[in-house]
Amino acid sequence: MKIGFLQQHNTSNVVNNIERLCDGIRDLAKRGAELVVLQELHNSLYFCQIEDVNLFDLAEPIPGPSTDIYGRVAKECGIVLVTSLFERRAPGLYHNTAVVFEKDGSIAGKYRKMHIPDDPGYYEKFYFTPGDLGFEPIQTSVGRLGVLVCWDQWYPEAARLMALAGAEILIYPTAIGFDPNDTPDEQERQRMAWQTVMRGHAVANGLPVVAVNRVGNEDGVPFWGTSFVCGPQGELYYEASTTDEESIIVDIDMKRSEQVRRWWPFLRDRRIEAYGDLTKRFRD
């Protein structure tokens, strides 16, 4: 399967961001992409750096204006498209939601981000209610997509549950960058930890992983790009720049996971009868 992604630098001009994304999607489709993945909250700047009730105005219903736009582009291009939107579910109830479009432009499914961070510069708990749709892969014409979002990427439980539900690939739209107050060494440790943990999910579950991050400086926060695609043994197929926008297609052998799981039958050897304490916050 030919997977395309756009690593983009966003501005405060939402209309322009969307136009550039749509142009990029069309270009990837012309180059042969069958599945296109966009970064987290791609319509706007990453607004969670501050707590401001007026920023809830960026949210919209699903279906809504953005799903109309991206659905039309998916149909026009004949691709499966993974988007990431700020969902207004009801007054005072908002989610960070990935929406997947089928080749005919219809909504194949959605996933609401389950793990919500609250760190300096990432005040997401102010904006997003944790997801309530569970860890369910989305069935599409190119396969069963295990779509998770950003902070979910640190949790092996999320990746495992997607795998156990039949996901054929793990996909992470994300928005993460450096704290400019950290030392260069600490910044690099965090960037590599971010990539390493997702490559570990690929290995542990025998599945390819696609992670698409934003890039560029937004209100003093430099997002570190490094969007990547890896195979079911964690092998890197492509790693994007830390500083530049990129439009990339990576060809993945989706049948390889079956063979890798035969060599390394981790799902067979799980001791599920011994894992009950995973449902506890901590074992005192």
pLDDT tens, residue by residue, 227-252: 999 999 999 999 999 999 999 999 99
180 cis-preceded (ω within 30 degrees of 0): no
Residue-wise pLDDT for 172-215, tens only, equals 999 999 999 999 999 999 999 999 999 999 999 999 999 999 99
Check if 125 is active-site. Answer: no
Residue 230, both tokens: 């890896």
- β-bridge mates for residue 35, sequence order: 3, 80
134 by Cβ neighbours in 10 Å (0-12 / 13-18 / 19+) ranks as exposed
* Location of structure tokens 């439009």: 247
Q: Considering only CA atoms, which of 48, 73, 75 is closest in space to residue 59?
A: 48
Contact at 8 Å (CB) between 226 and 213? yes
Q: Considering only CA atoms, which of 73, 85, 72, 63 is closest in space to residue 33?
A: 73
Counted residue by residue, the chain has a size of 284
40, 87, 102, 218: the catalytic one is 40
- pLDDT at 219 (0 to 100): 87
Check if 48 is active-site. Answer: no
48, 77, 150, 230: the catalytic one is 150
Contact at 8 Å (CB) between 219 and 49? yes
- pLDDT at 121 (0 to 100): 87
**pLDDT-flagged residues of the chain (< 50):** none
Q: Considering only CA atoms, which of 167, 242, 251, 250 is closest in space to residue 202?
A: 167
Separation of alpha carbons 75 and 88, rounded Å: 24
Check if 150 is active-site. Answer: yes
Three-state DSSP class for 60?
strand
34, 77, 110, 113: the catalytic one is 113
- β-bridge mates for residue 230, sequence order: 209, 236
Task: For the chain, list the domains and their CATH numbers.
Answer: 2-269 (3.60.110.10)
Q: What is the DSSP letter of 131?
A: P
Give the H/E segment covering residue 200. Answer: helix 184-205
Separation of alpha carbons 279 and 210, rounded Å: 28
- pLDDT at 1 (0 to 100): 96
- pLDDT at 284 (0 to 100): 86
**pTM of this prediction?**
0.97
